[in-house]
Amino acid sequence: MIDLTRITSSESEEYRFTEELLTASFPVDEYRDLLMQRSNCDTNHRFYLMIAHDETSPVGFISYWELEDFYYVEHLATLPAVRNKGYGKEIIRKLQSTAKSIVLEVEMPTDELTLRRIEFYKRLGFKIADAEYTQPAYRSGGNELPMKLMFWGETDTEKYFEHVKESIYRHVYNKVEKN
Report pLDDT digits (tens) over 129-151.
999 999 999 998 999 999 999 99
Alpha-carbon distances, residue 109 vs 88, 106, 117, 121, 138 (angstroms) = 20, 8, 9, 13, 21
Residue type present at position 174? N
CATH code, residues 3-171: 3.40.630.30
Residue type present at position 120? F
Helix segments in 75-143, DSSP class H: 87-96, 112-123
pTM over 0.85: yes
Crossing angle of helices 112-123 and 87-96, in 10° steps, is 40
Low-confidence ranges of the chain (pLDDT < 50): 179
> Distance from first CA to last CA of the chain, Å, rounded?
47
Q: What is the pLDDT of residue 157?
A: 74
Q: What is the pLDDT of residue 1?
A: 86
Q: Is 162 exposed, middle or buried (0-12, 13-18, 19+ CB in 10 A)?
A: exposed
Q: What is the pLDDT of residue 178?
A: 56
Distance CA 82, CA 79 (A): 6
pLDDT digits over 168-178, tens only?
A: 999 999 987 65
